Structure 1
Amino acid sequence: MTLRLVLGTLDTVAALVTARRITTLRRALTAVAPELRHPVLYLPLNLTNAATLAVGRRLPAVGSAIRPGIRAEKTTITATDPALNVVTYQAPARSKPSGALLWIHGGGTVMGTLRQGHAWCSRVADELGALVVSVDYRLAPENPYPAGLNDCYRALHWLHDNATKLGIDPARIAVGGDSAGGGLAAVLAQRAHDTGLPVCFQLLVYPMLDDRTVLRAEAPDRTVYTWTPTSNRFAWTAYLGHPPQERDDRPYTAAARRANLTGLPPAWIGVGDLDLFHPENIGYARRLREAGVECELRVEPGMYHGADALFDGKAPSMTAFRTSMLDSLRAALTNP
């Protein structure tokens, strides 16, 4: 009888806690644009350890359909060790030489696959007539910094070294990515600048730019979704090989750590005002402009991290968000 009473009490407490959490989330959801509200926002999605990472890596990819008529081919770059896989996307009638986009998928540097970029990469190939190359970089924690960045740099070098064979103009190669991919694209643009490897544009979609965000307390009334401070701490710790700290003198660990942004290629940065990365994205855009780098900044009201992947083609704001990405890239690849 006592055990039943205890179990009953625990069930009641659990129900009250769940109800209170749902009520709190419903209040917080009033900040989310009505057209972007989704059941996923009620889920406690946090990366905390190897077990939750394993679950995250098994989640299905959003936006995995390749546009009809676009040829997607896997290529293995074997010039250096280890071998690196990329997927190229192109329209069969692509005019050569064309511009090119090196795309880097998101996933906090700890998860994500090439498949999740199929829809976007094939759209760029279709509508811009560009060659798109998506890089299958190594993930942390199995392969911490600088493995992933080195893979992206090798892919960019491969594009330049094989420009004639690939039918692309080496003066019209852009880099881009979303979330962690955007962060890698930003440091890749920095490294390419320092080594004399031309990049004409950087397309940074709610990029993961600053590991020091982990060290800063969130405002108590600020609610973020899908990519949380807990997940951010886990991912940066996995990528860096240690917990983030104020001082880290290793080059290219995080784009926001670079003191001098002068001479970097023009950029487009897009982020929602409910995104964990909103402050660091705004700060980086401001610093680029102060350094004389042309930077278009798009801040989407009521948008959380990754909402465009969930609602592209379904919500007008997200359709407009991705159209802005495409238009900026088109201008860059046409007039580098």
Structure 2
Amino acid sequence: MFKTLVTITAAFVAISTGILWHRTYGSLSDKIEGWSSKVFPTACQCIYLLLDIFNPLLGIPQYKIFRLLPDKDWFGMKRAMWKNELLIEDSTIAGVPVTTFLSHNIPSPSPGIIYFHSGGMVMGSNNAGSSLTLCSHLANKTKAVVISVGYRLAPENVYPASFDDAWNVVSTILSDPLKYNINGSRIALMGESAGGLLAQAVSLKLANHPQIPNRIAAQVLLYPWFQLIDMFCLPSYKLYSEGFVVSDRITAYCVSALTMGNDEMVPMYISGNVSKYFMQTKYWKYLAPLSKCKLNPTKDNITLPKIFIEKVTDQYLSPLLADDLSSTPPTLLGISEYDILESESSLMSQRLKEAGVNIITKRYKTYHGFVMNLGIPMSNKTLAKLALNDTAVFLNAIW
């Protein structure tokens, strides 16, 4: 009886392990070479597997499962690693939680970097392990005051809550930079993924507020999100929606949560109905140069919620749809080659050049979110360190 129980248990573990491997590590694209480069994508695939199991079975909301991603500073360990080099403090600016990173013995006032974390505006925080790791490296490498913004997340707080928080923090700092030990002529914005969207959106709004006494000197956008009207026709959504870090379905959920506070728009994105609707509008001209969909001469009978249309076409939520980008400060745009957001980043790079913006575009042959590898044990950090070095070189040159 005991031997039978052991045999059954061993068989169950073996089968479960095989299924887990196939659904996670085994489902990754062959373009991701080397086991150490697969640590982060494998973790993401595990989260997606949990989604498939627990969302339909137990009805656990997707955003709560996303937030299970082990991206926390357990027992303050990441902060402790930097205690000899940095002062890391939590506070608020304009009522918004922020974490400030300050190198010891730097001149006052110093350059300042206002950082917006990734996470599709559904997960992540200024206190997440990835944010703490990146900002610590950044502060150490640039000798700047780095302020990480804990903007509100969806679906609890729909748009424009996240943008309002980002704007309030930036405008407050620009209005009185010395209060934060920052040189008002040497302030940069930086964002990853959805954080890159927020940085570009804030830059756009600043053009309409000449009364603010200081300007943004530069911005760094890493694998940024630039538009919310298509997840069907741009080439990268087809090429990289499976086997990498981010899928079209996950992105669709984040947009639906951000705009509607629920997941009702997910099937509309996946079926292509959102794209088909906007193909008939003036906004499609900004996607048309790379779109793989042909315009339908007869308007499809597709209806979308009015509030949804208003939000996703707002230039502060879809900066690629802005008519005028010329106010954008000098920009370093880092594009992940194997990323569903690659196409829109390429479109934005071209538009910024045409608008006369001083832009440097760097392409990294890796997946979305690769800079997070800085804080993940055993992961390949080569390209993450390269992107960080590119950021420091760019900002130091601007300053």
With the shorter chain as reference, the TM-score category is 0.7 to 0.9
1:151, CA displacement in angstroms? Answer: 0.5
1:8 corresponds in structure 2 to: none
1:277 pairs with 338, 341, 349, which one? 341
Identity %: 23
Query: How far does the alpha carbon of each residue in 1:78-103 deviate from its partner, in whole angstroms, 9 at most, with x for none?
Result: 5xxxx221111112312112110110
Query: How far does the alpha carbon of each residue in 1:33-87 deviate from its partner, in whole angstroms, 9 at most, with x for none?
Result: 3352233365362879762211211322178723232111112235xxxx22111
1:114 corresponds in structure 2 to: 126
Q: Give the SS at the match of 1:72.
A: strand
1:23, CA displacement in angstroms? Answer: 9.3
1:220, CA displacement in angstroms? Answer: 6.5
Cα distance 1:177–1:31, how it changes in 2: closer, same or farther (>3 A)? same
2:142 paired with 1:153: no
Q: How many residues align?
A: 315
Contact persistence 2:370–2:383 (CA under 8 A): no
> What is the identity, as a one-letter code, of the residue corresponding to 2:89?
E
In 2: Cα distance, 1:24 partner to 1:104 partner: 29
Cα distance 1:98–1:257, how it changes in 2: closer, same or farther (>3 A)? same
More divergent stretch after superposition (22-31 vs 168-177): 22-31
1:166, CA displacement in angstroms? Answer: 2.0
2:372 paired with 1:309: yes
Cα distance 1:97–1:56, how it changes in 2: closer, same or farther (>3 A)? same
Q: Give the SS at the match of 1:317.
A: helix
Cα distance 1:88–1:20, how it changes in 2: closer, same or farther (>3 A)? closer
- Aligned ranges for residues 1-336 of structure 1 at < 5 Å? 22=22, 26=26, 29-34=29-34, 36-38=37-39, 39-40=42-43, 42-43=45-46, 45=48, 51-61=61-71, 65-66=78-79, 67-68=82-83, 69-78=85-94, 83-116=95-128, 117-196=131-210, 197=212, 198-216=215-233, 218-219=237-238, 223-241=242-260, 243=265, 245=274, 246=278, 248=310, 249-301=313-365, 303-310=366-373, 314-332=380-398, 334=399
Query: How far does the alpha carbon of each residue in 1:6-53 deviate from its partner, in whole angstroms, 9 at most, with x for none?
Result: xxxxxxxxx7xx879939975863211335223336536287976221
Q: Give the SS at the match of 1:45.
A: helix
In 2: Cα distance, 1:157 partner to 1:211 partner: 25
Query: How far does the alpha carbon of each residue in 1:272-312 deviate from its partner, in whole angstroms, 9 at most, with x for none?
Result: 211111111111111101111111111112x1111221257
Cα distance 1:42–1:257, how it changes in 2: closer, same or farther (>3 A)? same
1:186, CA displacement in angstroms? Answer: 1.1
Q: Give the SS at the match of 1:194.
A: coil
Cα distance 1:220–1:203, how it changes in 2: closer, same or farther (>3 A)? closer
Contact persistence 1:108–1:232 (CA under 8 A): yes
Cα distance 1:20–1:290, how it changes in 2: closer, same or farther (>3 A)? same
> What is the identity, as a one-letter code, of the residue corresponding to 2:43?
V
Query: How far does the alpha carbon of each residue in 1:119-154 deviate from its partner, in whole angstroms, 9 at most, with x for none?
Result: 111222222221111111111111111111110111
> What is the identity, as a one-letter code, of the residue corresponding to 2:90?
K
Unaligned runs of 5+ in 2: 1-14, 279-308
Contact persistence 1:224–1:276 (CA under 8 A): no
For the aligned residues, what is the CA RMSD? Answer: 3.0
TM-score of the aligned structures, taking structure 2 as reference length: 0.71
Contact persistence 2:122–2:254 (CA under 8 A): yes
Cα distance 1:216–1:166, how it changes in 2: closer, same or farther (>3 A)? same
In 1: Cα distance, 2:217 partner to 2:380 partner: 31
In 2: Cα distance, 1:155 partner to 1:103 partner: 11
Q: Give the SS at the match of 2:88.
A: strand
In 1: Cα distance, 2:205 partner to 2:357 partner: 16
In 2: Cα distance, 1:224 partner to 1:202 partner: 30
In 2: Cα distance, 1:101 partner to 1:158 partner: 14
